[in-house]
């Protein structure tokens, strides 16, 4: 049991807006035990940056964890060579070159098609009408599960996320997670003969070609789905909202004074779509005045790290001109997001320029408030907008 100072949170309030508590923790108790989360949380950016690399202490290996039990043993729950070999096998599907040569064109085609249908309508919830289907269609291509419906991609991703956070053992949540993983397994089974006959750059195809065991292929595709749908979806909707609520900054990008990529990187710093990553303590350790014991659960709070005033001035301000080099929105260690290049292309090269070019006069629909929530995963829940139809 860690001897870190205790910090209590009100869970619903933390879900609605975790940033005031995280700021207090950074100041008063940067490594704190939060009883309501049953975890010791790291909130300062430089502590996370240095300690995430200590995989001998802060291990990803959690054999009895819900993710392993429900989704299979994937690379994100492994350390060292076992992790790196699976990561290397997936790399050809998500490398900068594959993103540039293959995916970006396909991502653009999806965005064009979705917006061509949307443009004449003149109003929509952009979360549901654009960000969700675009993220899901792109992920279908990247995973190789082009036989799935985009609605299932989103729903099954969410069902797995809910399943792995189901610490109270709610049977309905567990059943929905099992249905999702069964659906994904069926989609994989259908696609195996297709990509064996016509190999492509998808995760399924490259993992098969690399001779990875089937169990591990299934687990890593489920990982890509649980970790690759919400985040680009939330980043697309979030960046559009951030620009519409900061018109001066939108003007800067439109004038070519900053890049769409700066918008994405600053949004992911400001509101990290993945707010935390869990670890299990593997050996006795001392850091920052705190003793850690084997078995302790630790959360690295990326959402807090990215608002650390020691690294970012006025960290609560959305400012696309700032230097985001110290942002750890994609992680800080060996588990650095495998989908980072694909996400940058999807949001910065495709979604943002296409939306602002196609939907003229885009503005928030003031008849309905924008809602936002979450701390482990954080994003907009709706984005009501209008534009000039046609
Ligand atoms: C805005 C979009 C995204 C964000 C902010 C994001 C963020 C993250 C973060 C924070 C981690 C954990 C890093 C750590 O623990 O150090 C991660 C891991 C991972 N992400 Fe993403 N992600 C995004 C999109 C994607 C996409 C589209 C895919 C799939 C194509 C993907 C696949 C993965 C995989 C496979 C891992 C595990 C890597 C490993 O264990 O080595 N992510 N991501």
Least confident of 56-70, 89-103, 142-156, 362-376: 56-70
Average pLDDT over residues 33-58: 97
Question: What confidence score (pLDDT) does residue 166 get?
Answer: 86
Q: What is the mean pLDDT of the chain?
A: 96
SS3 266: helix
The residue count of the chain comes to 390
Q: What are residue 131's phi and psi, to 5 degrees?
A: -60, -45
Measured by CA distance, the residue closest to atom 22 of ligand 1 is 337
Average pLDDT over residues 265-273: 98
- The edge-to-edge listing of strands for the beta sheet with 39-42 is 31-34, 39-42, 297-300, 277-281, 58-59
Q: How confident is the model at residue 65 (pLDDT cuts 50, 70, 90)?
A: confident
Residue of 77, 300, 330, 377 to mutate, ligand 1, most atoms within 8 A of C-beta: 330
**Helix axes of 260-270 and 247-254: crossing angle, nearest 10 degrees:** 150
Q: What is the tens place of the pLDDT at every residue in 133-159? A: 999 999 999 999 999 999 999 999 999
SS3 303: helix
Question: What confidence score (pLDDT) does residue 165 get?
Answer: 85
Q: How far apart are CA 247 and CA 75, in angstroms?
A: 41
Tell me if 341 sits within 8 A of 350, measured CB to CB: no
Question: What confidence score (pLDDT) does residue 64 get?
Answer: 82
Average pLDDT over residues 288-293: 96
Question: What confidence score (pLDDT) does residue 168 get?
Answer: 81
Residue 64 CA to its chain's centroid (Å): 23
Least confident of 66-80, 117-131, 142-156: 66-80
Average pLDDT over residues 111-115: 98
SS3 174: helix
Q: Is the pLDDT of residue 111 over 80?
A: yes
Average pLDDT over residues 255-277: 97
Q: Please report, for the chain, how many H helices and E strands are present, in that order.
A: 19, 12
Q: What is the tens place of the pLDDT at every residue in 358-379? A: 999 999 999 999 999 999 999 9
Total-model pTM: 0.96
Q: How confident is the model at residue 1 (pLDDT cuts 50, 70, 90)?
A: low
Q: What is the tens place of the pLDDT at every residue in 325-352? A: 999 999 999 999 999 999 999 999 999 9
Pocket of ligand 1 (CB under 6 A): 52, 75-76, 87, 94, 142, 223-224, 227-228, 231-232, 235, 268, 273-274, 277, 302, 329-333, 335-339, 342-343
Q: Which atom of ligand 1 is nearest to the CA of 334?
A: 41
Q: How far apart are CA 136 and CA 127, in angstroms?
A: 12
Q: Is the pLDDT of residue 53 over 70?
A: yes
> In the chain, what percentage of residues exceed pLDDT 70?
99
Q: How confident is the model at residue 49 (pLDDT cuts 50, 70, 90)?
A: very high
Sequence-distant (≥ 6) Cβ neighbours of residue 111 within 8 angstroms: 134, 350, 351, 354, 355
Q: How far apart are CA 48 and CA 22, in angstroms?
A: 14
DSSP structural state of residue 5 = P
Average pLDDT over residues 382-387: 98
Q: Is the pLDDT of residue 54 over 90?
A: yes
Q: What is the tens place of the pLDDT at every residue in 270-279? A: 999 999 999 9
224 CA to centre of ligand 1 in angstroms: 8
Q: How confident is the model at residue 62 (pLDDT cuts 50, 70, 90)?
A: confident
Q: What is the tens place of the pLDDT at every residue in 176-218? A: 999 999 999 999 999 999 999 999 999 999 999 999 999 999 9
Q: Is the pLDDT of residue 171 over 70?
A: yes
> In the chain, what percentage of residues exceed pLDDT 90?
96
Measured by CA distance, the residue closest to atom 11 of ligand 1 is 337
Q: What are residue 338's phi and psi, to 5 degrees?
A: -70, -20
């Amino acid at each position: 049991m860690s001897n870190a100072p205790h910090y209590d949170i009100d869970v619903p309030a933390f879900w609605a807006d975790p940033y005031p508590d995280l700021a207090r923790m950074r100041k008063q108790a940067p490594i704190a035990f939060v009883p309501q989360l049953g975890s010791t949380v790291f909130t300062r950016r430089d502590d996370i940056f240095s300690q995430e690399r200590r995989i001998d202490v802060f291990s990803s290996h959690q054999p009895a964890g819900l993710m392993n039990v429900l989704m299979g043993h994937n690379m994100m729950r492994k350390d060292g060579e076992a992790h790196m070999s699976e990561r290397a096998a997936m790399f050809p599907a998500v490398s900068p070159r594959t993103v540039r040569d293959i995916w970006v064109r396909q991502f653009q085609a999806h965005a064009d098609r979705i917006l061509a249908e949307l443009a004449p309508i003149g109003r929509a919830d952009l979360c549901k009408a654009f960000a969700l289907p675009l993220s899901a269609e792109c992920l279908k291509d990247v995973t190789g599960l082009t036989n799935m419906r985009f609605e299932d991609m989103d729903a099954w991703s969410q069902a797995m996320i809910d399943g792995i956070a189901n610490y109270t053992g709610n049977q309905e949540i567990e059943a929905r997670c099992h249905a999702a993983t069964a659906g994904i397994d069926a989609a994989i089974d259908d696609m195996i003969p297709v990509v064996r006959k016509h190999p492509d750059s998808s995760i399924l195809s490259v993992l098969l070609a690399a001779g990875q065991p089937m169990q591990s292929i299934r687990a890593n595709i489920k990982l890509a789905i649980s970790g690759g749908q919400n985040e680009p979806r939330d980043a697309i909707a979030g960046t559009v909202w951030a620009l519409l609520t900061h018109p001066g900054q939108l003007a800067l990008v439109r004038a070519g004074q900053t890049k769409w990529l700066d918008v994405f990187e600053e949004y992911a710093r400001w509101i990290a779509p993945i707010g935390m990553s869990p670890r299990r303590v593997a050996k006795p350790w001392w850091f920052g005045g705190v003793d850690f014991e084997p078995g302790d659960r630790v959360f690295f709070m990326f959402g807090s790290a990215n608002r650390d005033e020691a690294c970012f001035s006025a960290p609560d301000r959305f400012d696309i001109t700032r230097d985001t080099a110290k942002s750890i929105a994609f992680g800080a260690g060996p588990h650095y997001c495998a989908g980072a290049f694909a996400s940058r292309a999807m949001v910065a090269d495709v979604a943002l320029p296409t939306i602002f070019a196609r939907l003229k006069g885009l503005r928030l629909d003031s008849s309905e408030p924008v809602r936002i929530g979450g701390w482990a995963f954080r994003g907009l829940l709706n984005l009501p907008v209008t534009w000039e139809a046609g």
